[in-house]
Structure 1
Amino acid sequence: MLISSYNREGIGDTLIVMLNNSEQTQLKTERRQNIARVFDETSGETKGYNFFSVSDLFSINEKGPVTLTEQQVAVMNKALEEAGFSDLLTADLSPKFVVGHVKECVPHPDSDHLSITQTEIDGGKVLQIVCGAPNIAQGQKVVVAKVGAIMPSGMVIWDGELRGEPSHGMICSARELNLEQEPAKKGILVLPEATPTGEAFQVDF
């Protein structure tokens, strides 16, 4: 997995790359040339990299999440090698926000407000996603933030567990997607039935 973000106005000319969930871990960094490796102090597992002065490698026009091309990732891998790091990055061009079809929705056995859904996304893949929205129901077309998505709030979506049930993504509300034109009502955003399952959903940051 390759999650990257860039905000020149906020943090300068630095590309932040996340490879694994770093929550609840003690992190350390080591810097070589213009690259800092972020890793778990206990396991030594690489959690990500910061590429400083990234404009020396290539230009980035986006603000927020960045989808890196295979060519850009190849340039980054060369820079990692030249700096003496051994990790090899792999480009991830798949959309992180897609239209999902709630194929099944049942009450959570250990909660009075959570539901367990089986939701189809792009490529026909079905994800189990635990959802707390009161209006979630079988048959709906919804917006799914897949694992690796960066929300407009800056939160990153990881695999998780809610009350003992695995959850692999998030079914989003209009507010979470920063859709100001949508009514600020409680619950997830329900799309028209004709919206194609798996279609990428555009989120503005």
Structure 2
Amino acid sequence: MHIFYNKQGIGDVLLFPFKTVTHNHITFETYGDVVEIRENQTNEVIGYNIFHASSYMSDLETGKIVVDETIVSKLGEIFKKNNVPTELSIDLSPKFVVGQVVEMKPHENADKLRVCQVDIGEETLQIVCGAPNVDIHQKVVVAKVGAIMPSGLEIKPSNLRGIDSFGMLCSQKELGLPNAPKEKGIYVLPNDYVLGEPFEF
């Protein structure tokens, strides 16, 4: 997860998106310097804007800032100072990780889909995949539930033709990697990638 700061480009505002929405059905609630942004239909918090950010965090750097425990602590202090009633709850676990396909079988109700068991180190996820090149023993990039793809798509638990799926095996194009091949297929990683490690891109 990242926050964004560009004082020269947009002013002294810290942008803190939880997820991307593709419509205008959002509402805003202001608490001092903190603006809480919610999705209308679900009332889910999708992000915050923090104004006069440099008065709270003097060491801000322009660009994308990785959210870690220190940042979460500082954001919590900002929320308290501005009497934000919503408790800040942030899952800091990596959402894009190195996995390995340890089992694969055909989908019972779809010829082009495969039901994969994917070891991500701490657990094994069942992921339904339609990529033509997926195979057992491959090291792959796994977008876990809660991951936000570069396209803005949020990965959620799903049910594909009657089979539950908890994540996605990613292609280079889906990850927004430069020079991604045009052919369909997941990104098969070299074997020296470490199982369960975050995949940085």
Measured against aligned partners, the alpha-carbon deviations of 1:108-151 in whole angstroms (never above 9, x if no partner) come to 2232222221111132x111212121111222111112223333
CA RMSD of aligned residues (A): 3.1
Name which of 122, 126, 129 aligns with 1:128: 126
**Structure 1 unaligned runs (5+)?**
none
| Corresponding residue for residue 75 of structure 1 | 74
Equivalent position amino acid for 1:188 in 2:
I
CA pair 169-85 structure 1, distance change in 2 beyond 3 A = same
Say if 2:57 is the partner of 1:94.
no
**Count of residue pairs the alignment pairs up:** 197
- Conservation of the 8 A alpha-carbon contact between 1:159 and 1:166: yes
What pairs with 1:1-205 in structure 2 (closer than 5 Å)? 3-6=1-4, 8=6, 13-18=13-18, 27-39=26-38, 41=40, 44-58=43-57, 59-63=60-64, 66-123=65-122, 125-181=123-179, 183-203=181-201
- So what's the TM-score if we normalise by structure 2? 0.79
- 1:96 Cα offset (Å): 2.3
CA pair 140-29 structure 1, distance change in 2 beyond 3 A = same
Supply the distance in 1 between the matched residues of 2:175 and 2:152 (Cα, whole angstroms).
11
CA pair 45-97 structure 1, distance change in 2 beyond 3 A = closer
Equivalent position amino acid for 2:104 in 1:
C
Measured against aligned partners, the alpha-carbon deviations of 1:1-33 in whole angstroms (never above 9, x if no partner) come to xx4442638766332232x79799x64221122
Give the structure with the higher percent strand: 2
- Conservation of the 8 A alpha-carbon contact between 2:151 and 2:174: yes
Equivalent position amino acid for 1:69 in 2:
D
Supply the distance in 1 between the matched residues of 2:107 and 2:9 (Cα, whole angstroms).
40
- Conservation of the 8 A alpha-carbon contact between 2:20 and 2:152: no
Supply the distance in 2 between the matched residues of 1:7 and 1:112 (Cα, whole angstroms).
46
Identity of aligned residues (%): 40
- Conservation of the 8 A alpha-carbon contact between 1:101 and 1:139: yes
Extract structure 1 runs of 4+ deviating beyond 6 A. 20-24
- Conservation of the 8 A alpha-carbon contact between 1:157 and 1:169: yes
Supply the distance in 1 between the matched residues of 2:49 and 2:160 (Cα, whole angstroms).
31
Measured against aligned partners, the alpha-carbon deviations of 1:144-194 in whole angstroms (never above 9, x if no partner) come to 122233333343333333333332221111222233355433200112234
- 1:61 Cα offset (Å): 4.2
**Structure 2 unaligned runs (5+)?**
none
